[in-house]
Structures are given as structure tokens and as C-alpha cells.
Amino acid sequence: MGKKRIGILTSGGDCAGLNACIRAATHHACQRGWEMVGIRYATAGLMRRPADAVTLTPDLLDSSFLRRAGTVLGSVNTGDPFAFPMPDGGRADRSAEVIEGYRSLGLDALIGIGGDGSLAILRRLAQQGGIDLVGVPKTIDNDVALTENAIGYATAVQVAIEALDRLQPTAASHDRVMVLEVMGRDAGHIALNAGISGGADVILIPEIDYRLEQVAQKVRDVRAGGRNFALLVVAESVRTPEGEAVTRSLSGQTRYGGIGQYLGDRLAELTGAETRVTVLGHVQRGAEAVPQDRLLASVYGAKAVDLIAEGRFDRMVAWQNRQVVDVPLAEIVDRSHRVDPAGPLVRTARQLGISFGD
């Protein structure tokens, strides 16, 4: 097989393990005698002239990149090139510029590391521009369809568990109810997994409707049972009992945030318990990658290069049944992997006496 020149980019919100994936893909590609080109700031880098890219070599990406959080390539989670926000407030289709930028780099194929939104945009660009694309799933939300694990999720869960471990002693010392709000966008995976592992009394996730009175009753029951503190984990996209999403506008974009404080205030009123709220936020994205993410990222990075070598494009690497596999990108677009309310983890949580407020 001839020498290839491969591009790689990270798109969407950053997370732990991105650098480990870039490292793995670069090591494997260079081992084959190929060239690896890192595209900086994803599609935004391809809109710049000259296109913003840097040659990657194994010696640049030493073992510290296995653990290092963030992305050495930079990322964007705004600025869809098909509806790019313009200074006059309107939107413009700049996809042709992105494709032209990609072509200017003389690449044979592209590895796109992204969540479902980014992968859908990259796929559309690939189809329009005849780009040979392989996708790699990453997101702390773990909501990409057809894969059990996305890069960054395990580390985010670890951070949330550590937060619960630290909230517990202070909750016990002050007889308090501690509410921990975690990220996850429209999926409750972080809240559910951290809640079970961190000993929560209540886990609220968007996939299971709750009633505030049920949550208050659980807090009363815990206290009546002789325990002076309670831990509640809530996913950021959980709605108020009235069905409203709690969001904020940040630089013109809508983001979840605030349901924890809302619930904390209401629970204090209903139970009389002293309540404190912690919003974990971007701390979940910036931690050093845990072993599971280092491994997953390494496997995915190497597998993505394999797919290019095999000429198998328009596919995403995935983790299923303890194996690395690949699935059609077409099948992950417009789908989402959310918590199964009848699944084994929810069942386990209930068996442990954890309340979902339902």
C-alpha cells in the first residue's frame, strides 16, 4: 500500500483521552510510514487560510499525552459550517470553504474525533466533498449510539465519584443534604454511574420522570432511619417538576445548568433539612484520563488507522461486547444512547435502595 497522508481533528467539547487518541493514531500511522497531519480547531481551522494544521510525529506525542487532558489540537463546539453565525446576526453556509481547506492540505483521509453532533457535521462535509472519513466517538455524556463507551466518559464519572466521596464527610459533619449537579447533556449516564458508585440516596436523570414529593420523602426516610445526611445526584438536563428545562444563555448559546440549586431550594422548604448544592461543571472534562479512557482512546486511535488502511470509510470505531468494532456513521446520526430505565444499572440502583423520585 502506498504512503498516505492522514488528517486528524478533534471537534466538540473537549474531554480526557483526546490526546491519547491523537497519540495512538499518530504512532500507528507513522509506523506504517504514513504522514499524520493535525488539523487545529476542527472545521474552524479548515476555514482559515492557510488551513491551520501541523505535522504530528511520534516523538512529539510522548507518553505524557496518554494522561494529559484537553486536546493538543484545540476544538470547537460552535460554528456549524452549514449554518455559520455571521457578524450581521445571520447564518451562512461555509461548508465549501471547509472542504477547500481540507483539499489544500493534500490529505488522503480524515479521522474525526467527536460526539454525535460533530460526527454528523463531519459526515455531511465528507459526503459533499468526497472526503474519506473515519469517526471516533468521544464525549463525557456517553450518548453516541452503537457504542458502549465514548472517550472521556469514564474520567468524567471518576471525577463525579470523587466529588461525592468528598461531599459525604462534610454532609455528615453538618447534618446536611448535599445536591451534586453533573453534566451529561440529555443523557443521565454520568449521574447514574457516579450515583451508584458514590453512594447517592437519590439519582435524578432525564430518562426517568420524578415527583418532588417522592424525593423529599426519601430524604425524610433517610433522616428518620437515623442517618443525618443525604446525597442527591442530579443530571443537568433534568427538568423542574413543572416540566421546564433549566438553562442559561452563554455567549448566545443555550446550556443546561441550575436544576441542582432549584431542587436544593425546594427540598430545603419541603423537608426542613439544611441543603447545599455543588455544580461540578467543566471539572468533569479537565481531569487526567483514567486507565479506561487511556486504553479506549489508544484502541480507537489505532483502529481508525486500520480502517483507513482497509479502505473502509464512512464508519465509526465503537466498543461492543468487549471488542473494538466499526459501525456505519449513517447509523449513529440522529440517534442517541440514553439510559435504559429498565436496564441493569437502574435495577441495581433500585435494589440498593436508591430513589429515582418516581
Binding-site sequence positions for ATP: 13, 115-118
Q: Specify the pairing of strand 202-204 against strand 230-235.
A: parallel
- CA 140/CA 150 separation, integer angstroms: 7
Is 358 an active-site residue? no
3-state secondary structure of 6: strand
Supply 71's cell numbers.
Answer: 486536546
Site string for ligand F6P, 276-315 (x = CB under 6 A): ---------x------------------------------
Q: Which member of 23, 40, 185, 218 binds ligand F6P (CB under 6 A)?
A: 185
Assess 255 for contact with ligand F6P (CB under 6 A).
yes
Q: Cis omega (within 30 of 0) on the bond before 291? A: no
Assess 141 for contact with ligand F6P (CB under 6 A).
yes
Binding-site residues for substrate sit at 139-141, 176, 183-185, 236, 276, 282-285
Residues 194-233 binding ligand F6P (CB under 6 A) are none
* Active-site residue, from 14, 52, 80, 141: 141
Site string for ligand F6P, 65-104 (x = CB under 6 A): ------------x---------------------------
229/256 with CB nearer ligand F6P: 256
Q: Cell match 493534500: residue? A: 106
Q: Specify the pairing of strand 109-114 against strand 315-320.
A: unpaired
Q: Cell match 455544580: residue? A: 279
Bridge partners (DSSP) listed for residue 91? 85
Cα dihedral 332, 334, 338, 340 sign: negative
Closest separation in Å from C-beta 278 to ligand F6P: 16
Closest separation in Å from C-beta 229 to ligand F6P: 27
Assess 52 for contact with ligand F6P (CB under 6 A).
no
Closest separation in Å from C-beta 120 to ligand F6P: 14
The edge-to-edge listing of strands for the beta sheet with 53-56 is 53-56, 35-39, 5-10, 109-114, 133-137, 315-320, 323-328
What amino acid positions are annotated as catalytic residues?
Answer: 141
